């Protein structure tokens, strides 16, 4: 296959995935499409459904009705029925294994989920102009995970056709946007023998042609939902008879933002979504907060989580209400290992299409690839998080986000080259 034909095929895959964005645990079409490509490539093993993850470690799983709706949507879009059957119940994602003789086991983690936000309909938005805008109302690939999945497939094929010696595992991880899928993949048996792990992300305000060999600065994060329950009453006739859940929620919001910062590093808190009540003349009996806490380290995140729990419980008690707090998603912090960063930087420096190599940069956000990174490091291995620059007209998570498709083969060449070098050098 010519270089141009290969590029066109990768673009076709990416655009197909872009048309079918699916959020956490609803990546039915996406997983089936990935499996289809894995079968075409011809890997040694493909694990899907419950075989790809630790079932009990999934977080933020939608209810059955929503899962069924997305499952049926994938079936109608042409997803393979045999693969879909393995994903039933929201067990999405896949692990592909390529075995090439004696050598270390190298892993590559790419995420595959979309976001619950509408995509731009502007005529100058490339997916609109070129006919691959999201076909799912209220969902889009606004962070480049369609490109990530495509890069993962491209790396597999490139490594298969190379002189690589060892085992390559590519983790097509669900649920990153909700910080809901990394732990389930990290706790599976598939990480136990991984000696080296790379994770990758496009963009992050780095342009096409720029590679970041090692990203750090991951903020540990915990997403929570707090549900307040009070006592209803007529707001005009007997306001004293009620216990106002919205009042408890409002008190909690104010005091969450009053949690003291910590001397050991950066901390964050946000009440991102709030609601409650039924009518203007009823003392509200129900209210909720969906929010998050973050910390520069896992310990700082735990500090914020403990303080947030105290605030939520105290606000409920102050207003005679009860509160139930659940964790919807969580991820620790992590650091990229110098040895792998050095190899990626060296490979990138000699890769066509790479115009600039940044050895290290700070992410400044959160990512649940950290679960996989820490799992490998805990077992004595090494891990690094690689940035693949791409020009994107809108910021991440915006309606106009898009990926410069010229960056996809660049990312594949750098990562495949780094995986070959890691296997041969065994840092």
* CA distance between the termini of the chain: 34
**How far apart are alpha carbons 184 and 255 in whole angstroms?**
33
**How far apart are alpha carbons 217 and 33 in whole angstroms?**
33
**How far apart are alpha carbons 184 and 161 in whole angstroms?**
31
**How far apart are alpha carbons 194 and 104 in whole angstroms?**
8
Task: Please give the pLDDT value at position 1.
Answer: 66
Using a 10 angstrom Cβ sphere, with 0-12 exposed, 13-18 middle and 19 or more buried, the burial of residue 164 is buried
**How far apart are alpha carbons 69 and 113 in whole angstroms?**
16
Instruction: Write the CB contacts of 117 (distance below 8 Å, at least 6 apart in sequence).
Output: 138, 139, 140, 142, 397, 399
Q: Which residues pair with 382 in a beta bridge?
A: 196
Q: How many CB atoms lie within 10 A of CB 20?
A: 25
Q: Is 201 annotated as a binding residue?
A: yes
330-360 b/e (C-beta count within 10 Å ≥ 16 → b): bbbbbbbbeebbbbbbbbbeebeebeebbeb
Q: How many CB atoms lie within 10 A of CB 221?
A: 25
Each residue's pLDDT, cut to its tens digit, for the chain (427 residues) gives 678 888 999 999 999 999 999 999 999 999 999 999 999 999 999 999 999 999 999 999 999 999 999 999 999 999 999 999 999 999 999 999 999 999 999 999 999 999 999 999 999 999 999 999 999 999 999 999 999 999 999 999 999 999 999 999 999 999 999 999 999 999 999 999 999 999 999 999 999 999 999 999 999 999 999 999 999 999 999 999 999 999 999 999 999 999 999 999 999 999 999 999 999 999 999 999 999 999 999 999 999 999 999 999 999 999 999 999 999 999 999 999 999 999 999 999 999 999 999 999 998 889 999 999 999 999 999 999 999 999 999 999 999 999 999 999 999 999 999 999 999 999 9
Query: Which of 167, 161, 126, 121 has its CA nearest to residue 146?
Result: 126
Contact 300, 264 (CB under 8 A): yes
Length of the chain: 427
Quote the Cα angle for 197-31-397, to 5°: 75
Using a 10 angstrom Cβ sphere, with 0-12 exposed, 13-18 middle and 19 or more buried, the burial of residue 291 is buried
**How far apart are alpha carbons 291 and 269 in whole angstroms?**
8
Query: Which of 94, 343, 107 has its CA nearest to residue 211?
Result: 343
**How far apart are alpha carbons 220 and 334 in whole angstroms?**
8
**How far apart are alpha carbons 111 and 369 in whole angstroms?**
9
SS3 label, residue 379: coil
CA atoms within 13 A on the CB side of 359: 6
> pLDDT tens across 223-279, in order?
999 999 999 999 999 999 999 999 999 999 999 999 999 999 999 999 999 999 999
Q: Is 145 annotated as a binding residue?
A: yes
Query: Which of 129, 147, 130, 122 has its CA nearest to residue 203?
Result: 147
Consecutive H or E run containing 160 = helix 145-160
Using a 10 angstrom Cβ sphere, with 0-12 exposed, 13-18 middle and 19 or more buried, the burial of residue 77 is middle
What 8-state DSSP symbol labels residue 64?
A: H
Q: How many CB atoms lie within 10 A of CB 102?
A: 7
Instruction: Write the CB contacts of 100 (distance below 8 Å, at least 6 apart in sequence).
Output: 159, 160, 164, 165, 166, 167, 168
210-216 and 382-388 strand pairing: antiparallel
Retrieve residue 367's tokens: 């990512």
């Amino acid at each position: 296959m010519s270089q141009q034909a290969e590029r066109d095929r990768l673009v076709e895959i990416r655009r197909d995935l872009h048309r079918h964005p699916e959020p956490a645990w609803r990546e039915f079409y996406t997983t089936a499409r990935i499996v289809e490509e894995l079968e075409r490539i011809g890997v040694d093993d493909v694990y899907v459904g419950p075989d790809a993850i630790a079932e009990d470690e999934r977080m933020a799983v939608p209810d059955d009705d929503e899962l069924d709706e997305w499952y049926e949507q994938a079936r109608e879009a042409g997803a393979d029925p045999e693969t879909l059957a393995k994903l039933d119940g929201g067990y999405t994602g896949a692990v592909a294994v390529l075995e090439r003789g004696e050598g270390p086991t190298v892993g590559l983690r790419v995420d595959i989920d979309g976001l619950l936000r509408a995509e731009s309909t502007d005529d100058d938005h490339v997916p609109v102009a070129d006919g691959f805008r999201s076909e799912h109302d209220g969902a889009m690939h606004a962070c480049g995970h369609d490109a990530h999945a495509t890069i993962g497939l491209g790396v597999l094929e490139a490594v298969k056709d190379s002189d690589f010696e060892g085992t390559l595992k590519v983790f097509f991880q669900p649920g990153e946007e909700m910080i809901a899928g990394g732990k389930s993949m990290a706790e599976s048996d598939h990480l136990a023998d991984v000696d080296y792990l790379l994770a990758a992300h496009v963009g992050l305000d780095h342009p096409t042609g720029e590679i970041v060999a090692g990203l750090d600065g991951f903020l540990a994060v915990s997403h929570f939902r707090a549900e307040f329950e009070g006592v209803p009453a007529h707001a005009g006739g007997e306001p004293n008879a009620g216990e106002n859940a919205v009042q408890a929620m409002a008190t909690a919001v104010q005091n969450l933002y009053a949690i003291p910062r910590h001397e050991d590093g950066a901390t964050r808190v946000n009440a991102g979504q709030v609601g409650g009540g039924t009518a203007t003349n009823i003392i509200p009996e129900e209210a909720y907060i969906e929010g998050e806490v973050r910390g520069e380290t896992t310990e700082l995140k735990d500090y914020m989580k403990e303080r947030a729990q105290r605030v939520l419980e105290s606000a409920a008690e102050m207003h005679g209400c009860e509160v139930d707090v659940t964790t919807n998603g969580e991820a620790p912090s992590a650091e990229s290992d110098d040895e792998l960063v050095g190899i990626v930087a060296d490979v990138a420096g000699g890769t066509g299409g790479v115009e600039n190599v940044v050895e290290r940069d700070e992410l400044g956000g959160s990512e649940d690839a950290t679960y996989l990174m820490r799992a490998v490091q805990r077992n004595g291995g090494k891990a690094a998080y690689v940035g693949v620059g791409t020009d994107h007209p809108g910021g991440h998570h915006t309606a106009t986000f898009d990926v410069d498709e010229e960056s996809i083969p660049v990312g594949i060449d750098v990562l495949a080259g780094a995986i070959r070098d890691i296997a041969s050098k065994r840092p």
